[in-house]
């Protein structure tokens, strides 16, 4: 359903990843009760992050953090080599959607002091973090900018996101182009042009397999490296919500126990619900 098709093309000089993640991004955005602007921020961040899973091996994980000029407005995404993807918006930004930020564009929210932090955890306690500014203020080009600045690997990502009239994700796809060492940088422009010229095909919602076919339509010498499934995976558990339960205070927990009611928490990353029944609340007290 969600997958990456990874190819080598143009005399094996470029690695190109075609990503179908409509269901994943739809789900990520549906789990957070928010508006189109915040869903766009989340969808772009998580879609870019999901395409990065195609570059990971073994225990390698990447955490991406987008911070807007207003520093507590943040969007997070985490991915690993198994194709597990998750993403969420900071509480401050989620709460801001009632504060009249709706008319803003993504560029206005990011502002002139936005920054990207990318943490590479390659296992064996080896963690590398890089930070760059966001000159494009649109997240997607800023992530490409991050790779040029911090990792010195020419990388270009493009996302294709469509909302329906109810502000739900109707289509989400992405493409990632990375040149192999020694390839001329002009090659990237050539690949970008070819992808941009065929942009309409990325928006073909009727064909769910198109991201498996497109690589071979666009590049004559495309060589399939892998087809890899990707999926939303949060990793939350009931134990993780105990701190929120304690946060309610003794009186509220005791009231719930006395009245025989169940306390419920929903994870705002994956939508899972965790219930604490009166018997558990009694043990806690």
Closer to Zn ion at the Cβ: 18 or 88? 88
Closer to Zn ion at the Cβ: 179 or 263? 263
State which of residues 269, 274, 276, 281 lies at the interface with Zn ion (CB under 5 A): 269
Tell the smallest beta-carbon distance from residue 262 to Zn ion (Å): 19
Task: Check residue 122 for interaction with Zn ion (CB under 5 A).
Answer: no
Whether 265 and 278 have beta carbons less than 8 Å apart is answered as no
Tell the smallest beta-carbon distance from residue 57 to Zn ion (Å): 26
The size of the interface with Zn ion (CB under 5 A), counted in residues, is: 6
Task: Check residue 236 for interaction with Zn ion (CB under 5 A).
Answer: yes
Task: Check residue 7 for interaction with Zn ion (CB under 5 A).
Answer: no
Distance CA(87)–CA(234), nearest Å, equals: 8
Distance CA(100)–CA(105), nearest Å, equals: 12
Task: Check residue 157 for interaction with Zn ion (CB under 5 A).
Answer: no
Beta-ladder partners of 128: 120
Tell the smallest beta-carbon distance from residue 240 to Zn ion (Å): 8
Distance CA(14)–CA(100), nearest Å, equals: 44
Distance CA(36)–CA(48), nearest Å, equals: 18
Query: What do you get for the CA distance between the two ends of the chain, in Å?
Result: 45
Q: Which stretch binds Zn ion (CB under 5 A): 97-105, 114-122, 205-213, 261-269?
A: 261-269
- Identify which of 143, 91, 88, 155 has the alpha carbon closest to the alpha carbon of residue 117: 143
Task: Check residue 270 for interaction with Zn ion (CB under 5 A).
Answer: yes
Task: Check residue 85 for interaction with Zn ion (CB under 5 A).
Answer: no
Task: Check residue 267 for interaction with Zn ion (CB under 5 A).
Answer: yes
Task: Check residue 28 for interaction with Zn ion (CB under 5 A).
Answer: no
Spatial neighbors of 270 by CB under 8 A, at least 6 apart, are 31, 86, 232, 233, 234, 236
The contact set with Zn ion (CB under 5 A) reads 234, 236, 267, 269-270, 272
């Amino acid at each position: 359903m969600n997958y990456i098709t990874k190819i080598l093309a143009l005399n094996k000089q470029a690695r190109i990843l075609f990503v179908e993640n409509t269901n994943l991004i739809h789900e990520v955005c549906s789990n957070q009760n928010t508006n189109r602007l915040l869903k766009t921020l989340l969808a772009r961040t998580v879609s870019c992050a999901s395409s990065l899973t195609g570059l990971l091996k073994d225990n390698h994980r990447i955490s991406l953090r987008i911070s807007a000029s207003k520093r507590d407005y943040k969007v997070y995404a985490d991915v690993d080599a198994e194709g597990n993807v998750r993403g969420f918006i900071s509480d401050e930004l989620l709460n801001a959607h009632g504060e009249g930020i709706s008319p803003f564009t993504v560029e206005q929210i990011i502002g002139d002091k936005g920054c990207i932090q990318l943490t590479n955890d390659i296992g064996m306690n080896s963690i590398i973090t890089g930070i760059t500014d966001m000159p494009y203020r649109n997240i997607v080009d800023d992530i490409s900018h991050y790779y040029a600045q911090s990792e010195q690997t020419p990388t270009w990502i493009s996302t294709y996101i469509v909302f329906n009239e109810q502000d739900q994700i109707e289509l989400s796809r992405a493409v990632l182009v990375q040149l192999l060492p020694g390839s001329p940088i002009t090659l990237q422009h050539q690949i970008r042009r070819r992808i941009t010229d065929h942009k309409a095909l990325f928006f073909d919602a009727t064909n769910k397999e198109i991201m498996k076919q497109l690589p071979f339509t666009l590049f004559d010498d495309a060589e399939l490296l892998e087809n890899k499934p990707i999926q939303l995976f949060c990793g939350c558990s009931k134990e993780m919500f105990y701190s929120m339960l304690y946060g309610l205070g003794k009186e509220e927990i005791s009231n719930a126990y006395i009245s025989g009611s169940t306390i419920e928490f929903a994870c705002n990353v994956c939508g899972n619900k965790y219930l604490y029944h009166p018997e558990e609340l009694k043990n806690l007290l």
